[in-house]
Amino acid sequence: MSVVARFKEALEMTTAPGGLLELTTIERDGVPVKAFAQAPGSMRDLWALSIGHGDAEYMVYGDERWTYSETAKVVAEFAGWLTQQGIGPGDHVAIAMRNYPEWMMAHWAVNSLGAAIVGMNAWWVAGEMDYALNDSRPKVLIADDRRLEAFAEIQHKYPNVKVVSVREKASPVEAVDFHAARIEGAQ
């Protein structure tokens, strides 16, 4: 049997009814599309499934280790804070930072509320950040030190954007510390 034939056989087996990656047809905006039958219905559902891993290691960053349970606690607390700020389904929240653990925590918190994440490239300069913020109109910007420096140049254009700082000792703009916000959100 050729490699191509074996691949096709494996594909048919895994996507067949009852298979791990069973395919089905669903309708999106009046158009029939293929989808995985067992896939979570939303990112919020995907996060809820992952919480079941409890004390298993979820993230490693340098010397830091985060379990699913620890991460879920932070996510719920930060989601609480976002809710206190009026964030809900359909609202936009921008995330502009390098790959810190807080990036994923913010991501899951925003998703858990049904809000939309505006992912901002960590290499962007102020002009590029300005374009994205103007286009997306987020209610909250979550950023680390270098992105806050870029935002400081254009902050005057976004007086109503609430700013959350991540791993920043002395923010160049008025900001709420991520972990202080999440502790406040737990109350």
- What would the pLDDT profile of 144-185 be if each residue is shown by its tens digit? 999 999 999 999 999 999 999 999 888 899 999 999 999 998
Residue 39: band (very low, low, confident or very high) from pLDDT cuts 50, 70, 90: confident
Residue 119: pLDDT band (50, 70, 90) is very high
Would you say residue 186 has pLDDT above 90?
Answer: no
Q: Provide the pLDDT for residue 46.
A: 85
Of the candidates 78, 133, 137, 132, which has an alpha carbon nearest to the alpha carbon of residue 110?
Answer: 78
Give the contacts of 15 (CB within 8 A, at least 6 positions apart).
21, 22, 23
Residue 13 has pLDDT above 90, yes or no: no
pLDDT surpassing 90 at residue 187: no
Rounded Cα distance between 176 and 154, Å, is 18
What are the structural domain ranges in the chain? 3-36, 75-185
In order, the DSSP letters of 11-78 are: HHHHHSTTSTT-EEEEEETTEEEEEETTS-SSHHHHHHHHGGGTTSEEEEETTEEEEHHHHHHHHHHH
pLDDT at 108: 96
pLDDT for res 170 = 84
> Is 117 in a helix, a strand, or coil?
strand
Is 3.40.50.980 the CATH number for 75-185? yes
One-letter amino acid at 176 equals: V
pLDDT in tens, 50-97: 888 999 999 999 999 999 999 999 999 999 999 999 999 999 999 999
* b/e burial code for range 11-30 (CB count within 10 A of at least 16 → b): eeeebeeeeeeeeeeeeeee
Please tell me whether residue 95 adopts helix, strand or coil conformation: strand
Task: Provide the terminal-to-terminal Cα distance of the chain, rounded to the nearest Å.
Answer: 63
